[in-house]
Structure 1
Amino acid sequence: MALDLNTNKLRINIDEPRWDQSTYWGRAKHFFVTTNPLNLLCTSKELERAREVVTKHRKGENVPGLTEDDLWTAKHVYDSAFHPDTGEKMVLIGRMSAQVPMNMTITGCMMTFYKTTKAVVFWQWFNQSFNAIVNYSNRSGDSPISVQQLGTSYVLATSGALATALGLNSLVKRAPPLIGRFVPFAAVAAANCINIPMMRSKEVSDGVPVIDKDGNRIGDSKIAAKQGIGSVVLSRILMASPGMIFPPIIMDRLERRGFLSRYPMAGAPLQVIMCGICLTFATPMCCALFPQKSSIAVSQLEPEIQERCKQLPNPPTVLYYNKGL
């Protein structure tokens, strides 16, 4: 839309996504934009311009010649580089737009160099180090991650991934080669099952805010926190699945046909490229599986929250909470 926002006196709520988040494809469109790797190419000048546009619009100030499309472009660029709560510029590899290029490189290398202990230790450590940077960069401003919590999660996730990878490698030595190629996927899945709950353990102990349809805070729910963390763990594992399942099958066939013996240096680049193709689509599409503003029936929540709802003039049957990413 080329409509001038200043001339037409339009005020757009940019604190909500552009597309309808009650539909899967609306959420998918949002995450395709959020995880767009091209945002990494924005210069410092472009990032500052985007911040200026977003800041002025939120304050109700006019930006000469600003159209609706210009506003949303600036918002998406701003979201790709600046923390939503603190407003600080995030480190490059910690941004959501870096997820595809970073993960395709790490995943491709994990699946290429999975046979030796040294390679397994290095790439699992590297992967969990990257995850720690992403988790810290995208930490909540309301519930900040302490250094102790970050360190504990990092150590446990790395240990879990290494134990899984090294343990399975020893078990599958006599199994068909294809089975061994799936060991990195099992290690990543195990690490996600440890890392995410650990990073969000404060939510499990204290609960997350649950609100009604009008945004009124009803209370804090540990049950909603566990449901949200479970959905995030599932989406993260599914996100990694295509890039860690299809490339091994293709590489196994190439190995059987002698391609990799003729071109041994082609293994890592091929797997990185295949992972990149898979992650380009899997990352946004799996992030969109569950609504960011998730719902939960009041009957499933803690008794005290149920009682609080019953005392309201129009008792809600469903409450909402932020599931996280």
Structure 2
Amino acid sequence: MATPFSVNIEKPRYDQGTYTGRAKHFLTITNPLNLLASSSDLEKAATVVQKYRKDGFIPPDLGEEGLWRAKHLYDSAFHPDTGEKMLLPGRMSAQVPCNTAITGCMLIFYRSAPAVIFWQWTNQSFNALVNYTNRSGDSPISQNQLLTSYLCATGGALTTALGLNALTKSMPKVIGRLVPFAAVAASNCINIPMMRMKEIQEGVPVEDDNGNRLGKSTSAAKEGIALVTMSRVCMALPGMVVTPVVISWLERRGTLARRPWLSAPLQVALVAVCLTLATPLCCAIFSQRAAIPFHRLESQLQESIKKENAVVPSDLYYNKGL
């Protein structure tokens, strides 16, 4: 016999009004172990969540903890707005393993022009997939927009990386090792807005505190994209700055001269540790259900809300994406 519960799974389990609560939430969402869940596991989790949303009952063998486990697994694999299953490499739980491999190679092969081109292209291809998968709202993106965004971001990353490599040849080695981070930061500032251009043009859904949709806002879209860009740059910073500094220090001490075989695995290991911590902690800097004051909405939307609502909310909420 199914058991009734009164748990609100429409909001994260942990208080999103605090940084600690958001960090706990994203630790569950970005956990790489979620990638090991099979298609049947994901479908079972989706069934539990959908059944609970429909009638408030779940099988007695699950209990409240089982309900939350299903919800966390569901959130890690299904888009919060569309409900569609996300492509596996584009899920936030794939960030740590995929970015560890790509970032490690960018840091190891930072001087060779062909290697820079290949790994920056690989990184931007992966970023484009992640940005598309975790976009806000439910607006489709045209193939032309996808291609334009991808080419602009890739071009920006390659121009930055190759240009800075040429400029830093005569500088201390540690400066050259920081070039991949500069390229990644620059490309994020291009890739994310370009990949989500349709949101900037058409807006993202905004809701009141009760979840009632009141329209679409381009102002909210712009703010959300800016927040995502900042958190992505912060996410890349520890692994791509701390690792080169540590490697340069070990080179000056002669450690890597005596054990040159240690350089590559050490860099990958440092990147892995940094990303494991930075991914959830930087996702948590800003709440995914972001708030925007009513007065910052575009005037046309303000007037529309005023006409249709007797009481105008002071803040509206939207999914800023990841």
TM-score by length of 2: 0.92
Q: 2:315 aligns with which of 314, 318, 323?
A: 318
Q: 2:17 aligns with which of 19, 22, 34?
A: 22
> What secondary structure does 1:261 align onto?
helix
Shift of 1:107: 0.9
Whether 2:4 is the aligned partner of 1:41: answer: no
- Do the aligned residues in 2 keep the contact of 1:139 with 1:145 (CA within 8 Å)? no
Most deviating of 308-317 and 169-178? 308-317
Shift of 1:279: 1.0
> What secondary structure does 1:314 align onto?
coil
Shift of 1:274: 0.7
Tell me the equivalent position of 2:171. 175
Whether 2:276 is the aligned partner of 1:292: answer: no
Most deviating of 95-104 and 184-193? 95-104
Alignment of 1:302-317 (within 5 A): 302-311=298-307, 312-317=309-314
Q: 1:56 aligns with which of 40, 51, 59?
A: 51
Q: What is the number of equivalent residue pairs in this alignment?
A: 320
> Structure 2: how far apart are the matches of 1:45 and 1:165?
42
TM-score by length of 1: 0.91
- Do the aligned residues in 2 keep the contact of 1:236 with 1:286 (CA within 8 Å)? yes
> Structure 1: how far apart are the matches of 2:7 and 2:209?
20
> What secondary structure does 2:157 align onto?
helix
> Structure 2: how far apart are the matches of 1:140 and 1:316?
22
Tell me the equivalent position of 1:11. 6
Shift of 1:318: 2.3
Cα gap change, 1:212 to 1:189, in 2 (>3 Å): same
- Do the aligned residues in 2 keep the contact of 1:6 with 1:66 (CA within 8 Å)? no
Shift of 1:287: 0.8
- Do the aligned residues in 1 keep the contact of 2:135 with 2:196 (CA within 8 Å)? no
Residue identity in the other structure for 2:158: L
Cα gap change, 1:104 to 1:244, in 2 (>3 Å): same
Shift of 1:263: 2.3
Most deviating of 314-323 and 201-210? 314-323
Unaligned runs of 5+ in 2: none
Shift of 1:44: 4.0
Residue identity in the other structure for 2:9: I
Most deviating of 185-194 and 283-292? 283-292
Tell me the equivalent position of 1:74. 70
Shift of 1:178: 0.7
Q: 1:94 aligns with which of 90, 95, 110?
A: 90
> Structure 1: how far apart are the matches of 2:209 and 2:257?
60
Most deviating of 29-38 and 252-261? 252-261
Whether 2:268 is the aligned partner of 1:272: answer: yes
Cα gap change, 1:83 to 1:219, in 2 (>3 Å): closer
Shift of 1:140: 5.3
- Do the aligned residues in 1 keep the contact of 2:239 with 2:270 (CA within 8 Å)? yes
Residue identity in the other structure for 2:311: N
Unaligned runs of 5+ in 1: none
| Two-structure CA RMSD over aligned residues (Å) | 2.1
Residue identity in the other structure for 1:108: G
Shift of 1:141: 6.6
> Structure 2: how far apart are the matches of 1:34 and 1:244?
23
Shift of 1:91: 3.6
> What secondary structure does 2:211 align onto?
coil
> Structure 1: how far apart are the matches of 2:299 and 2:143?
34
Shift of 1:227: 1.1
